[in-house]
Structure 1
């Protein structure tokens, strides 16, 4: 972790394998990581000790993305094992698991924490964060690698293997 103004290195968190994802908690006090070793680690940025305060081992594939949810009590992750998991940090275990037919490439929690955007195969899906049930899905003709819901939930954008960026109305899922 570096000071963005001075470039000074503040902390180092060693890992036994390649790190694929890092994410700050909304409060900026914690850092979640995941990677090739299939382990999610949460570090307290206020401690000089580089030991994780939480270690979660539930995926069977490389962890591709981690996000905090619900005041940082939950950690959301996706993996090469074609799953998304919601982990409760209070018990260090997955409390929700969703399986997909294709590899999940990306997940994102909306600014209002009401939706999770999922890029999986040729689909962009949206799940509610309360029951983690799918509420919308748009199918594309190409594999999608990344998707993002605009902060006021008006539209979403995504991109994939056809070298294009798509912009869709979130309410009715039509291309803009």
Structure 2
């Protein structure tokens, strides 16, 4: 489903027959790609909601990524394969192969997340705790990082300057411009499910939890809890700051997406000053 930032409904993509695990937009928002438990990924025209392509797989597709120009798509999931599709030649599929062992499988366990870094590089992460950086021209990995626990989350943050990874109770913040370089890591008292760093100040990060229904703000340097937001009635599995850092969104098992203002009382968008 597409909504604008006010929450108004724009349209719904109808076609999957199983849970949708991941959805991405290209930079100009004209093309969307989704990954589903129905063993498929689908490519959508966001202007009219039609399905342009269905990419059949042999198992659950957990993650997808789309190139900035919307011309190529990467898929991964329970098959442990990383497939690269050219949307102009959809039947010509390439497998990304680990340069160390030469096997067709990109990872030894389920691929949980894929990030498209730039025109020539991508990143994948798996339950095996491996994060791998890929050269899309050679279709091979060129470096990797092994986490000490199974990975549960990998996503861009701070306007693509950081990569956030979560394993167990620990959050890792990688420098997006320097593969495997950890800028900061914190082990939290509760189990985080997702996190996002303030895009401008980079002095705080917001965290959703798999253990409770609260959304917390932590200091980036010390991991001291700054604030706690209550309102959801289910675990929170997605959080993200707005590009200007004025508010953040949280998505929960309770079926709602909530928008939270960083400075309550300030006039911004639909919020009026108090």
Coarse TM-score class (shorter-chain normalised): 0.7 to 0.9
Q: Which string of whole-angstrom CA distances, capped at 9 and with x for unpartnered residues, describes residues 88-132 of structure 1?
A: 112222211111121111111235433211111101110113142
Q: Which residue of 1 aligns with 2:65?
A: 23
For the pair shown, the structure with the greater C-alpha radius of gyration is 2
Q: Which runs of 5+ in 2 are unaligned?
A: 1-42, 98-104, 227-274
TM-score relative to the length of structure 2: 0.58
Query: 2:133·2:179 contact (CA, 8 Å) conserved in 1?
Result: no
Q: Which residue of 1 aligns with 2:225?
A: 175
Q: Which residue of 2 aligns with 1:50?
A: 91
Query: 1:62·1:80 contact (CA, 8 Å) conserved in 2?
Result: yes
Tell me which of the two structures has the higher relative contact order, counting C-alpha pairs closer than 8 angstroms and 6 or more residues apart. 1
Query: 1:13·1:50 contact (CA, 8 Å) conserved in 2?
Result: no
The CA distance in 2 between the partners of 1:165 and 1:28, in whole Å, is 33
Q: Which string of whole-angstrom CA distances, capped at 9 and with x for unpartnered residues, describes residues 33-70 of structure 1?
A: 1100001112223x14233245343310000000011x
1:12 match: secondary structure: strand
For residues 150-169 of structure 1, the aligned pairs below 5 Å read 150-152=198-200, 153-163=202-212, 164-169=214-219
Query: 2:158·2:196 contact (CA, 8 Å) conserved in 1?
Result: no
1:11 match: secondary structure: strand
The CA distance in 2 between the partners of 1:54 and 1:111, in whole Å, is 30
Q: Which runs of 5+ in 1 are unaligned?
A: none
Query: 2:150·2:167 contact (CA, 8 Å) conserved in 1?
Result: yes
Aligned residues: 174
